[in-house]
Chains A and B, each alone.
Chain A
Amino acid sequence: MAHGITPICWGPLENRNPPLDRAEGKDYFGDMEESETFMGFERDAPSGQISVAEAAIRLGLDTFTVYSLIQRDRLSPLLDDDGEYVVSEEEVAALAQHRKE
């Protein structure tokens, strides 16, 4: 298998990712922490807009998932002056808002 990736196949549980709600769940996420920064060069998005990376942090997701939310029309992509897609801070807040008990 190319790139040393364990093949995914039907079969026993060994070599598979641990479930999220098991005891080792914390480590499972801990070792995959994403940088989410564009080192040293990051510039603030215009007011009311935030970068995809910032949206990911606020939602507790990774950037890949935020991009997929945009593609599924759960977030509207906005193109900033430099051609980068950003998202509305308000929409992100609405997606993250706690359900009222």
Chain B
Amino acid sequence: MLKKDGKPWIPRGPRGSGNDLIGDEALAYRAASHSVERDLQPLENIKEQLNALEQVRWERPNPPVQETFKAPDGTTWDIYAHLVRLPKSRIILCRPRNSPDWSVVQEFEEGSAYARKHGRTEVLVQGQNVREVVTDYVAQANHTLRFAERNLVAKAQKMVWQHFPENNPGKIVEALMEHCDKAVTHNRSIGESQTQNIRQSRGMRV
């Protein structure tokens, strides 16, 4: 850790702005950010995968089928792309054989309590235009990321005020918020406008 005048030091913002964390503030921030990091890392990983999806040219005349699976109703689904890998499931782009409708589907880990009750696959987005279907999913997922990040900040805030009430907790929380925000919103202009659309079109509450 950097030191200034012999004290732990975390520089923040422009020089002389008063935002630097010094001494016990810096130590408290380090402890808190270490905790946050463990929950933040999976979100960053998802964000990177979503960013990669935004670079793909989805329109292609005859895309190859990667895999197939059979739905409980007997329909065969062709999988064309793996979109996102989550810790206990994966998000795939597919469509029922001989159907023009594209779907983004979440496939859950076999044997999970949720999958046993609701089945292993769940359609998240459907439509005839492949680009729109993927873009819609990415927008939804970005919205979910923001929600998860905000809840993480709320947890961090709770923890900082409980454990470091004497170390300028407001300033530490502000630094943590900035850190979390950067981690999940580095494609901000795209993510925010899409999020707005989703909120309006689907009436999401959170």
Contacts and interface: CB of A to CB of B under 8 A. Distances in A.
A60 B109 contact: yes
B82 A17 contact: yes
Contacts of B118: 95
Given A41-B163, A65-B86, A35 B158 contact: no
Contact of B86 (A3, A62, A71, A95): A62
Secondary structure at chain A's binding surface: helix, strand, loop or mixed?
A: loop
Nearest to B66: A13
B113 interface: yes
Nearest to A93: B113
Nearest to B55: A7
Interface residues of B, number: 65
B114 A8 contact: no
Nearest to B114: A59
A48 interface: no
Nearest to A73: B205
B204 A71 contact: yes
Contacts of B55: 1, 7
Given A8-B56, A60-B112, A67-B144, A98 B117 contact: yes
Interface string B80-124: 111101111110000000000000001111111111111010000
Interface in B144-159: 144-145, 147-148, 151, 154-155, 157-159
A23 interface: no
B51 A62 contact: no
A43 B159 CA distance: 9
Contacts of B86: 32, 62, 64-65
Nearest to B203: A73
A51 B106 CA distance: 23
Interface of B: 34-36, 38-39, 41-43, 46, 48-49, 51-53, 55-57, 60, 63-64, 66-67, 69, 80-83, 85-90, 106-118, 120, 140-141, 143-145, 147-148, 151, 154-155, 157-159, 162-163, 204-206
Interface of A: 1-3, 5-13, 16-17, 19-21, 25, 29, 32-41, 43, 52-53, 58-65, 67-68, 70-71, 73, 77, 82-85, 95-99
22 contacts: A5-B49, A8-B83, A10-B60, A17-B90, A20-B108, A20-B120, A25-B110, A32-B88, A35-B42, A38-B35, A41-B162, A43-B158, A60-B112, A60-B115, A64-B145, A65-B88, A65-B89, A82-B154, A85-B147, A85-B206, A98-B116, A99-B117
